[in-house]
């Protein structure tokens, strides 16, 4: 081996290599500067998102209790299966595994994922069963991005009782998210969708809290970095009397219809029923589409709250309004009499009453036997303008302002209304029909309950309500005491020995008025007398006791026939429960000779 080698080329090229190494390391330093100094905040955020998960601590909604403190709507703990899609290495695989573990369709899961917000947990399944939870726990390591949250779920222990009044909760809809009243709520929030749940949603909701937890790469929680406890929604006391509510529902014995009972002095709603009803518990976890379809397409319309959304011709119950109007306008006195031959021919039309007629009737008897001819005469004298004025004064043709959403206002027709909507002038003959509650006039049961309360409390039009709004003064009476007394006398006679005798109680004096809302012309009904669906709706409005009334109510039995036959017995069951007469004797039909079923 030679001692001297020419190493100059090697050495000069080594210098080049040294320079290359310096350049390469410098390039690395630049990249680390870029990542760690220039973009550090961005990556710190990503690391934070990686390790921390926001767990919502759902605030339990306030409970709803009745006037005696009995629970009407509460909460029960339930399990939600949630997923943070951003934490999934392979979302498709996670979805497939979840679908098989929970027995759900992949499409259903994907639909929920499609509506996600970045890094917010998506609720894949609400109210998961213990079996679901067990399966997920067993596959914990396969599904680290999935977790289970305990959330309070709305529960309706009375099931379908008062369902329409209480309403139900459901996941907030896309449309609702845009509304100001739901501002700030996240997707998936449970909000009131009907009834009191909807009307008092904000009050009941409380404020959700959260836990920010640190999780490792397998999705296991290792620490909690922040916590904001939820503040529970406050409980709300309703004016409902749960026991009366149950009695009211039982009184219908499965028939379609509705009833509402008020405290005539305050307007507090003591009970409200619309049948058929539905079980709001079905809605709390997101109702199955087929179940929803069957409810929504049911011809018996179980989702409709008939008390505030059903508009019916008031029939003879309207005579209470006509009588009040005529007395107040000074067109009749309680002693004014008309002769009823069984029909009235006027304006080239024959208006019918009971075949054979009632003979000479005064106001009290006209109300008692529900004489049409008497009120035809009243209507002719009042004319439509004054009739409409009093209809409105007593609450028809406008919402009652009850604290429920989606109230219908019914219709109190007037010449102005007809010209505006139907583009035809008013005919005097129409007034004759309206005077007995037929024709264009329509009312909701809660409006008619308010009419009963109006007579009961001496002429004041109250706002029916479940929750007292502080600082609302009692409205002043709009009718004279003499007027009220005269109408009340008539209503007293209706139950004592008139069309409403089936509502009679032994120890409590009941005042009432029957009515029938015709569905088809009488002539057709005579041809097919028992065809259900063609029978008129039976009305009964009442208050009791006659002196110092404590309850006013309206009952409507759909296609029940006459109000005296169909609705008065229902009212009687409700009233007898209210007055503690649990097993009332059926009233003797022939107790008084004047007792009659005739009306309209």
Partner 1 sequence: MLGMGVGIDRRLIYNLDWVLLVTTLVLSLVGVATIYSATQAGQKPDLYLKQLLLVGIGLLGMALAAALDYRRLADRAVLLYVLSLIALVYVERFGPLIAGTRRWIVIAGVQLQPSELVKLAAAVFVAKLFSEVRQESIGLREIALPGAAVGLLALLIAREPDLGTAACLVPLVLVVAFLAGLRMRAVLGLAAALVLSAGLAWPMLKDYQRTRIYTFLDPSLDPRGAGYQKIQSQIAVGSGGFIGRGFLEGSQAQLGYLPARHTDFIFSVLAEEAGFVGVLLALSLYLLLLWRMLETARLARDRLGAFIVAGVSAAFAFQVVYNVGMVAGLVPVKGLPLPLMSYGGSSMVSSLVGIGLVLSVRMRRFAN
Residues that bind partner 1 (CB under 8 A): 1, 3, 5, 7, 9-11, 13-15, 17-18, 21-22, 24-25, 28-29, 31-33, 35-37, 39-40, 42-44, 46-48, 50-51, 89-90, 214-218, 222
Q: Return d(Cα 516, Cα 507) in angstroms, integer.
A: 27
> CB of residue 215 vs partner 1: minimum separation in angstroms?
7
Q: Of the two residues 45 and 298, which places its CB atom closer to partner 1 in the complex? A: 45
Q: Of the two residues 38 and 350, which places its CB atom closer to partner 1 in the complex? A: 38
- Helix, strand or coil, per DSSP, at residue 501: helix
> CB of residue 228 vs partner 1: minimum separation in angstroms?
22
Q: Of the two residues 39 and 68, which places its CB atom closer to partner 1 in the complex? A: 39
Q: Quickly count: other Cβ atoms within 10 Å of residue 403's Cβ.
A: 21
Q: Of the two residues 16 and 350, which places its CB atom closer to partner 1 in the complex? A: 16
> CB of residue 137 vs partner 1: minimum separation in angstroms?
20
Residue 195's nearest CA partner among 308, 297, 66 is 308
Determine how β-strand 551-557 pairs with β-strand 537-544: antiparallel
Q: Return d(Cα 204, Cα 535) in angstroms, integer.
A: 42
> CB of residue 216 vs partner 1: minimum separation in angstroms?
4
Q: Per-residue DSSP letters for 54-116?
A: EEEEPPPPPPEE-TTS-EEEEEEEEEEEEE-GGG-S-HHHHHHHHHHHHT--HHHHHHHHHT-
Q: Return d(Cα 314, Cα 448) in angstroms, integer.
A: 8
Q: Of the two residues 17 and 130, which places its CB atom closer to partner 1 in the complex? A: 17
Which residues on neighbouring strands pair with residue 80, listed in sequence order?
149
Q: Of the two residues 211 and 381, which places its CB atom closer to partner 1 in the complex? A: 211
> CB of residue 120 vs partner 1: minimum separation in angstroms?
20
Residue 244's nearest CA partner among 184, 309, 162, 305 is 162
Q: Of the two residues 13 and 68, which places its CB atom closer to partner 1 in the complex? A: 13
> CB of residue 94 vs partner 1: minimum separation in angstroms?
13
> CB of residue 85 vs partner 1: minimum separation in angstroms?
15
Q: Of the two residues 50 and 336, which places its CB atom closer to partner 1 in the complex? A: 50
Q: Which spans in 281-329 are helix H? A: 289-297, 306-309, 319-328
Q: Of the two residues 5 and 174, which places its CB atom closer to partner 1 in the complex? A: 5
Is the peptide bond between 529 and the residue preceding it cis, with omega within 30 degrees of 0? Answer: no
Total residues found in the chain within this entry: 600
Q: Return d(Cα 87, Cα 95) in angstroms, integer.
A: 13
Q: Of the two residues 143 and 307, which places its CB atom closer to partner 1 in the complex? A: 143
> CB of residue 92 vs partner 1: minimum separation in angstroms?
11
Signed CA dihedral, 278, 279, 282, 286: sign only = positive
> CB of residue 277 vs partner 1: minimum separation in angstroms?
52
Q: Of the two residues 25 and 134, which places its CB atom closer to partner 1 in the complex? A: 25
> CB of residue 132 vs partner 1: minimum separation in angstroms?
27
Contacts 24+ apart (CB under 8 A), 475-478: 478/393
> CB of residue 91 vs partner 1: minimum separation in angstroms?
11
Contacts 24+ apart (CB under 8 A), 187-194: 187/115, 187/116, 187/117, 187/120, 188/122, 188/123, 190/58, 190/61, 190/154, 190/284, 192/167, 192/168, 193/167, 193/168, 193/169, 193/283, 194/164, 194/167, 194/168, 194/280, 194/405, 194/406
Query: Rg (Cα) of the chain, in Å, rounded?
Result: 35
> CB of residue 16 vs partner 1: minimum separation in angstroms?
8
What residues contact residue 32 under an 8 Å CB cut-off, 6+ apart?
Answer: none
Which residues on neighbouring strands pair with residue 517, listed in sequence order?
537
Q: 49 near 221, Cβ under 8 Å?
A: no
Q: Of the two residues 28 and 421, which places its CB atom closer to partner 1 in the complex? A: 28
> CB of residue 1 vs partner 1: minimum separation in angstroms?
7
> CB of residue 279 vs partner 1: minimum separation in angstroms?
45
Q: Of the two residues 38 and 476, which places its CB atom closer to partner 1 in the complex? A: 38
Instruction: For tokens 């190493």, name the residue.
Output: 7
Q: Return d(Cα 190, Cα 286) in angstroms, integer.
A: 10
Q: Quickly count: other Cβ atoms within 10 Å of residue 152's Cβ.
A: 20
Determine how β-strand 349-352 pairs with β-strand 359-361: unpaired
What residues contact residue 551 under an 8 Å CB cut-off, 6+ apart?
Answer: 261, 262, 263, 264, 270, 543, 544, 575, 578
Q: Of the two residues 41 and 423, which places its CB atom closer to partner 1 in the complex? A: 41
> CB of residue 30 vs partner 1: minimum separation in angstroms?
10
Q: Of the two residues 42 and 68, which places its CB atom closer to partner 1 in the complex? A: 42
Q: Return d(Cα 391, Cα 441) in angstroms, integer.
A: 9
Q: 487 near 327, Cβ under 8 Å?
A: yes
């Amino acid at each position: 081996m030679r001692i001297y080698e020419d190493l100059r080329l090697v050495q000069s090229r080594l210098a080049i290599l040294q320079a290359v190494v310096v350049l390469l390391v410098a390039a690395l330093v630049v990249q680390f500067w870029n990542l760690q100094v220039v973009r550090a905040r961005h990556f710190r955020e990503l690391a934070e998102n990686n390790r921390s998960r926001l767990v919502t601590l759902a605030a339990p909604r306030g409970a709803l209790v009745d006037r005696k403190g009995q629970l009407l709507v509460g909460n029960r703990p339930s399990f939600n299966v949630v997923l943070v899609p951003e934490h999934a290495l392979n979302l498709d695989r996670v979805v497939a595994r979840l679908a098989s573990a929970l027995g759900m369709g992949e499409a259903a899961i994907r639909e929920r994922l499609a509506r996600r917000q970045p890094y917010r947990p998506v609720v894949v399944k609400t109210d998961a069963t213990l079996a679901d939870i067990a399966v997920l726990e067993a596959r914990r390591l396969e599904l680290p991005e999935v977790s289970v949250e305990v959330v309070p779920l709305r529960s309706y222990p009375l099931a379908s009782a008062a369902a329409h009044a209480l309403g139900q909760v459901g996941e907030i809809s896309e449309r609702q998210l845009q509304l100001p009243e739901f501002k700030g709520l996240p997707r998936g929030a449970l909000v009131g969708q009907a009834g009191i749940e909807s009307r008092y949603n904000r009050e009941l909701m409380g404020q959700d809290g959260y836990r920010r937890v640190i999780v490792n790469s397998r999705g296991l929680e290792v620490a909690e970095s922040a916590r904001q406890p939820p503040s529970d929604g406050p409980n709300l006391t309703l004016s409902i009397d749960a026991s009366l509510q149950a009695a009211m529902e039982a009184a219908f014995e499965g028939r379609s219809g509705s009833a509402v009972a008020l405290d005539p002095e305050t307007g507090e709603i003591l009970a409200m029923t619309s049948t058929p009803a539905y079980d709001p518990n079905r809605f709390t976890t997101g109702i199955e589409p087929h179940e929803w379809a069957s409810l929504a397409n049911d011809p018996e319309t179980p989702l409709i709250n008939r008390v505030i959304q059903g508009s019916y011709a008031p029939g003879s119950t309207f005579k209470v309004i006509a009588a009040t109007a005529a007395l107040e306008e000074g067109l009749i006195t309680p002693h004014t009499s008309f002769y009823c031959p069984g029909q009235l021919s006027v304006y080239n039309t024959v208006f019918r009453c009971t075949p054979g007629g009632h003979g000479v009737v005064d106001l009290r008897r006209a109300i008692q036997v529900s004489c049409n001819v008497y009120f035809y005469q009243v209507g002719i004298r009042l004319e439509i303008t004054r009739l409409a004025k009093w209809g409105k004064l007593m609450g028809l043709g406008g919402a009652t302002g009850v604290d429920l959403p989606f109230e219908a206002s019914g219709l109190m027709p007037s010449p102005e209304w007809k010209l505006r909507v139907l583009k035809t002038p008013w005919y005097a003959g129409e007034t004759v029909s309206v005077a007995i509650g037929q024709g264009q006039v329509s009312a909701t049961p809660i409006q008619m309950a308010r009419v009963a309360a109006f007579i009961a409390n001496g002429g004041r039009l109250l706002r029916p309500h479940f929750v007292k709004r502080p600082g609302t003064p009692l409205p002043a009476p709009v009718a004279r005491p003499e007027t009220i007394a005269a109408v009340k006398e008539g209503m007293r006679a209706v139950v004592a020995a008139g069309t409403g005798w089936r509502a009679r109680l032994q120890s409590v004096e009941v005042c009432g008025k029957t009515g029938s809302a015709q569905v088809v012309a009488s002539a057709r009904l005579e041809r097919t007398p028992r065809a259900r669906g063609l029978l008129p709706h039976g009305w009964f409005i009442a208050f009791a006791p006659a002196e110092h009334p404590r309850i006013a109510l309206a009952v409507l039995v759909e296609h029940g026939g006459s109000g005296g036959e169909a609705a008065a017995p229902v009212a009687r069951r409700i009233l007898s429960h209210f007055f503690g007469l649990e097993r009332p004797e059926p009233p003797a039909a022939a107790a008084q000779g004047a007792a009659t079923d005739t009306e309209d």
